[in-house]
Chain A
Amino acid sequence: MTMTTPLAQAATTAAATANTGATAWAARIEHVSKSFPGPAGQQLVLDDISLDIAPGEFITLLGASGCGKSTLLNLVAGLDRPTAGSVTTDGRPALMFQEHALFPWLTAGRNIELALRLRGVPRGRRRERAEELLELVRLKGVHGKRVHELSGGMRQRVALARALAQDSRLLLMDEPFAALDAITRDVLHDELTRVWAETGVSVLFVTHNVREAVRLAQRVVLLSSRPGRIARQWTVGIPQPRRIEDAAVAKLSAEITEELRGEIRRHGRH
């Protein structure tokens, strides 16, 4: 079912679920290309990307700057349309940014309740569900706190709870821990692994940190730069819970880093 014209995501989604009930993938990216107008005509940013994300799968998308990781994520999120190929998702994916993107005019709990409200959860259920989600990210008791009263790590956990409030089968994360200090980031890796295991959500996680990619993922996808193509994929067999300093994590990270450096070197040769 290769489509050369992008369809409205909602329509595609409805069709996918209506025909088959539950799909065998959380997202299907088929021969996706994307170009933007540049100084020298159309600049190709993504070139023929095909990737299936299985239900419950954790994929990290790795690449150097300018490989179009974020562009690809925006396409999957439905915030932008591919130039060619198609993206099909099972429902609207949830999206987490590098900035927490919580709304400062609402309390932490109300941020989550807004997500529930926009999804059509009735008023009576929202408060209870928001408390459950806060408990899931271990922030019981911060429902009434303002965003600016929370620490960086707490904000990202509230943002995670808000993303989970959408009850999507797919969670997209755009370098969500890049702005955090190393200790907090480490803790949030553990936290995300735990939440992922508890909820069974599929995750597509963009990062430029190789160790982070190996620490978290079942599958690491390396993108080449300009244009972004899938260069190589690794299945990570190391059992969870992993630590970022584990020898097995370090070994695979070294291998992937070598590959990534090779990709980057290619660009300096011309």
Chain B
Amino acid sequence: MAATDTAPRADDGDLAGLEAGLDALEASPTVRTPLRRLLTDKMLPPVLALTLVLAVWQALVSFRMVDDPARLPAPADVWYVLHDAWLQGTLLGYIWTSVSRGLLGFLLALALGTPLGLLVARVRFLRAAVRPVLSGLQSLPSVAWVPPAVIWLGLNNRMMYAVVLLGAVPSIANGLVSGIDQVPPLYLRAGRTLGATGLKGTWHITLPAALPGYVAGLKQGWAFSWRSLMAAEIIASSPDLGIGLGQLLEYGRNASDMAMVFEAIVLVLTVGVAIDLLVFSPLERRVLRSRGLLVKG
């Protein structure tokens, strides 16, 4: 072979040095943001915003702009109600009732939405038939499903899960479909030349490439699960079902206890945001960062 007369060693060492120099010059080191900057840039603004909201709320009460505790309780009153519930040991019970329903419902939605999304993305007929339905369902407020679900299934947990599924499955399936649609064709070509065709191609190339879209769908799916569940709990409150956050809100309304109503609202908001911040946002950041898709501001 003509190739044997190539590359004397001296030249080779020279090339290695040149290459090492180029690599060192061009590679961009990944720098972690220092904790201090993270605190001032990321934590401080939302804390300030929250403080402002509380201050306005307190001012409305203090300066008697809304001078009726049955309309607007003072932030302190809501805090006492929360504190009482905590001392009585009922607070965690309310939260757990709703969160366990929400998460179980979400996991069911995940188990149904994922294969559905995969089928819709892959089977041309299903895509044409089901994709518009999924998009339509996404814009339908899931509270609309509560009355029919009560009539079909009765006032029970099954009805709640049905409403959660109808709210979350379309988001999760849609997320996966758009994730798959956005896979760069280059990856599929590269995969095919490596021998990843058919199921192997789906498993090794399409699914991992679609992960960012899928995770965005999961995030939205959780938000929809939680909202649907609250709608179901508010409408379908029955003593046999245990007291979740939605029922707490409804009890507060029935008792004209505004502090309790606000307690429930604060809890619904806090739990929804907390689960997003603790589970879904870190998951999304991890996926994006590992691919170099997260641009640091």
Q: Verify that A and B bind, or say they do not.
A: yes
State the A residues within 8 Å of B (CB): 56, 58, 77, 79, 92-95, 97, 99, 101, 103-106, 114-115, 118-119, 138-139, 146-154, 162, 166, 183-184, 187, 190-191, 193-194, 196-197, 200, 218, 239-241
Residues of B187-207 contacting chain A, CB below 8 A: 187, 189-190, 192-196, 200, 204-205
With both beta carbons as reference points, the residue of chain B lying nearest to A237 in the complex is identified as: B2
Q: Is there an interface contact between A146 and B290, defined as CB atoms closer than 8 Å?
A: yes
Chain A residue nearest to B20 (CB atoms) is A138
State whether the Cβ of B56 lies closer than 8 Å to any Cβ in chain A.
no
B23 neighbours in A (Cβ, 8 Å):
139, 151, 153-154
Given A58-B3, A115-B194, A190-B11, list of 19 further CB < 8 A pairs? Answer: A77-B193, A93-B193, A94-B193, A97-B186, A101-B186, A103-B187, A104-B293, A114-B194, A139-B23, A151-B25, A153-B22, A154-B26, A183-B22, A187-B15, A187-B18, A187-B22, A191-B19, A194-B6, A240-B6
SS class, residues of chain B in contact with chain A: helix
In the complex, what residues of A have CB within 8 A of residue B12's CB?
A: 194
Give B residues with C-beta under 8 Å from A.
Answer: 1-8, 11-12, 15-16, 18-20, 22-23, 25-28, 30, 186-187, 189-190, 192-196, 200, 204-205, 208-209, 211, 290-293
Tell me whether A118 and B200 are in contact (CB under 8 A).
Answer: yes
Given A149-B30, A194-B12, also A104-B195 (CB < 8 A): no
Q: Could you pull out 17 A-B pairs where Cβ atoms are within 8 angstroms?
A: A56-B3, A79-B192, A105-B209, A114-B194, A118-B194, A118-B200, A149-B27, A184-B22, A184-B26, A187-B15, A194-B12, A196-B3, A197-B6, A218-B2, A240-B7, A241-B6, A241-B11
- Closest B-chain residue to A159, C-beta based? B190
User: Closest residue of chain B to A147, judged by CB?
Assistant: B292
How distant is the Cα of A104 from the Cα of B289 in the complex, in angstroms? 10
> Nearest Cβ in chain A — how far from B45, in angstroms?
28
Inter-chain CA distance A194–B292, complex, in Å, is 31
- Asked if residues B3 and A95 are in contact (CB atoms below 8 Å), the reply is no
Q: Do A149 and B204 touch across chains, with their CB atoms under 8 A apart?
A: no
Q: Are A105 and B290 in contact (CB under 8 A)?
A: yes
Residues on the A chain within 8 Å of B187, using CB: 101, 103
- Nearest CB in chain A to that of B208: its residue: A105
Q: What total count of A-B pairs have CB within 8 Å?
A: 115
Q: Which residues of B contact A139 (CB under 8 A)?
A: 23
Q: How far is the CA of A77 from the CA of B190 in the complex (A)?
A: 11
Q: Given A99-B186, A103-B209, decide whether A239 and B292 contact each other with a Cβ distance below 8 A.
A: no
- Name B1's closest neighbour in chain A (CB-CB): A56
Smallest beta-carbon distance B185→chain A, Å: 10
B-chain residues with CB within 8 Å of residue A148 when the two chains form the complex = 291-292
How far, in Å, is B80 (CB) from chain A's closest CB?
A: 50
- Contact B200–A103 (Cβ < 8 Å): no
Closest to A101 in B: B190
Pairwise interchain contact B292-A152, C-beta atoms closer than 8 A: no
Contact across chains for B19 and A104 when beta carbons are under 8 A apart: no
Task: Chain B residues near A162: list those with CB within 8 A.
Answer: 194
Separation in Å of the B183 CB from the closest CB of chain A? 11
B205 engages A194 (CB within 8 Å): no
Please name all residues of chain B whose beta carbon is closer than 8 Å to the beta carbon of A138 when the two chains form the complex.
16, 19-20
Which among B1, B27, B190, B205 is the interface contact of A97 at CB below 8 angstroms?
B190
Given known pairs A146-B291, A149-B28, the reply for A194 and B195 (CB within 8 Å) is no
Q: Of residues B16, B190, B208, which shows the largest number of chain A Cβ atoms within 10 Å of its Cβ? A: B190
Quick check: B193 and A79 within 8 Å, CB to CB?
yes
Given contacts A197-B6, A241-B6, contact A190 B27 (CB under 8 A): no
- Inter-subunit contact B211/A105 (CB<8 Å): yes
Say whether B28 contacts A241, CB under 8 Å. Answer: no
The chain B residue sitting closest to A201, CB to CB, is B3
Interfacial chain B residues near A218, Cβ < 8 Å: 2
Known: A104-B291, A150-B27, A154-B26. A95 touches B5 (CB 8 A): no
**When the two chains form their complex, are residues B195 and A197 in contact, meaning their CB atoms are under 8 A apart?**
no
Chain B's nearest CB lies how many Å from the CB of A8? 13
Shortest CB distance B202–A (Å): 13
The listed residue with most B CB atoms (<10 A of its CB), out of A77, A191, A194, A218, is: A194
Q: Contacts A103-B208, A183-B22 known; A190 to B1 CB distance under 8 Å?
A: no
CB closest residue in chain A, given B4: A197
Query: Are the CB atoms of A153 and B26 closer together than 8 Å?
Result: yes
On chain B, the residues within 8 Å of A147 by CB distance are: 291-292
A103 to B203: give the CA distance in the assembly, Å.
13
Known A146-B292, A148-B292, A197-B6; contact A114-B204, beta-carbon cutoff 8 A: yes
Q: Inside 8 A of A193's CB, which chain B residues have their CB?
A: 6-7
Q: How far is the CA of A197 from the CA of B209 in the complex (A)?
A: 35
